[in-house]
Amino acid sequence: MPPFTGPLTEEEVPVFLEAVLKYSPEHYELFLAAIHTGMRFGELAGLEWDDIELKGRYLMVKRQLVWGRIQTTKGGKSRRVDLSTPLAEALKALKRKRHEEYLAKGENEISKTVFLNRAGRPLDKDNVRVRHLHKCLKKAGLRKIRFHDLRHTFASLLIQNGENLAYVKEQLGHSSIKLTVDVYGHLVPGANRAALDRLPLVSPL
């Protein structure tokens, strides 16, 4: 049995995100972040604005939401995650929009949590999966996947585009490179051919 249902392909990602913009626009930045950072759902749900350095285009994963409660991250360690330019711009626009909404309500400070539901409350994984992820996948004509498969989408696309496994390991926060290799090693372009080329030989006279 494969370790995951299957990541979205490079062609499927924009189709999915277009559906999100149309049918669940309030969660567009959440899904974009999942695909562009490989963060787990709990890590995204626990992300705070103070964790994000927009100018430097990175964020620090320090906590996660587990069963409605904020806890330390898996393994108890924080990690730095790089931000793509589109994601950094999307987060910047979201923060500006959040400020405008709160000012309109007479409030000076926005919620410290980045990703919230329509009511401004912490995200519920089942709600996001069923009412938004699965709905948008269906509207886009794509197969049903898990939220965690967006993490696999991030990793698989990086590797297929030539990124090395050590960088992918750091971004995902894997405890060891062996775990990264076990899950994603088969995706490295030309990996099998490279192994064949390293076989010993004797040159013909």
Which of the following is catalytic: 125, 129, 131, 148? Answer: 148
Which of the following is catalytic: 40, 79, 132, 169? Answer: 40
Q: Is 174 a catalytic residue?
A: yes
Virtual torsion, Cα 138, 143, 146, 147, nearest 10 deg: -60
Which of the following is catalytic: 74, 129, 134, 139? Answer: 74
Which among 52, 46, 11 has a CA at the least distance from the CA of 141? 11
Q: Is 132 a catalytic residue?
A: no
Which of the following is catalytic: 132, 151, 152, 169? Answer: 151
Q: Is 198 a catalytic residue?
A: no
Which among 62, 29, 44 has a CA at the least distance from the CA of 113? 44
Residue 191's Cα: distance from chain center in Å?
Answer: 25
Which among 64, 27, 21 has a CA at the least distance from the CA of 45? 64
Strands annotated E in the chain: 52-53, 58-61, 63-66, 69-72, 79-82
Q: Three-state SS for 203?
A: coil
Q: Is 151 a catalytic residue?
A: yes
Residue type, 157: L
Backbone angles phi and psi of 154, in degrees to 5: -55, -50
Task: Just list the catalytic residues.
Answer: 40, 74, 148, 151, 174, 184
